[in-house]
Amino acid sequence: MIVRGILIALPLILVIQFYLLPSIVKIKVLAQSIPKRKEDLKELRRLRDELFELRRETARVNQAIQQRGQDFELLAFLEELAKKCKIEDKIVSMRPVSNLSSPPNEKIIEITIDGLVTEELTKYLYEIENSTKLLSIKKTTIRSNLGPEKSLDVSLQVSTLIDTI
């Protein structure tokens, strides 16, 4: 009877030891890794969406560069905007800036304007930012001129990309 019990129990113990227990351990490990994998999947989806957004933005930038044409000159365009805003006589200087930290396909123009009133400055900044020529204002310095007219002395750095990305 004891021998029969051992003969029946021994295969059961071996099956449990070599098949069932390792399977239970693997199931536990897999169950613990599921939340981590779900987080990884969320991160991958977020990165995918970010990549698609960057691709759309790059395509939009490239299209804007192509639409403005090869003959686009930033300096001439900024002068044209100044004439449109009727501040061309207040411009002291407009000069290209070479910035080593900027990308090689970026062109920057520094504009110094003296004697502006707030409305003129606002209109000029609005025209720059809302132009379809892909312009951005990188740096603005405004100093109050405490003369009788209480005007502003402004220094702007306007940039644009000159080549497609």
What are 56-93's pLDDT values in tens digits? 999 988 888 888 888 889 999 999 999 999 999 999 99
pLDDT of residue 102: 67
pLDDT at 56: 96
pLDDT at 98 over 90: no
**Average pLDDT rounded to a whole number, residues 5-32:** 89
Rounded-to-integer distance, Cα 120 and Cα 87, Å:
7
Residue 154 has pLDDT above 70, yes or no: yes
| Residue (of 78, 147, 138, 146) closest to 113 by Cα position | 78
Query: What is the arrangement of strands in the sheet containing 135-145, beginning at the earlier edge strand?
Result: 91-97, 106-116, 151-161, 135-145
Quick one: the chain helix, strand, coil %, rounded to 5? Answer: 55, 25, 20
Average per-residue pLDDT for the chain: 89
Q: Is 98 helix (H, G, I), strand (E, B) or coil?
A: coil
Res. 150 pLDDT band, cuts 50 70 90: confident
Q: 29 pLDDT band (50/70/90 cuts)?
A: very high
Instruction: Detail the DSSP E strand segments found in the chain.
Output: 91-97, 106-116, 135-145, 151-161
Mean pLDDT of 121-130: 93
Query: What distance lies between CA 163 and its chain's CA centroid?
Result: 18
The per-residue pLDDT for 164 is 66
What pLDDT was estimated at residue 165? 63
Mean pLDDT throughout 38-45?
Answer: 97
Q: How far apart are CA 154 and CA 163, in angstroms?
A: 29
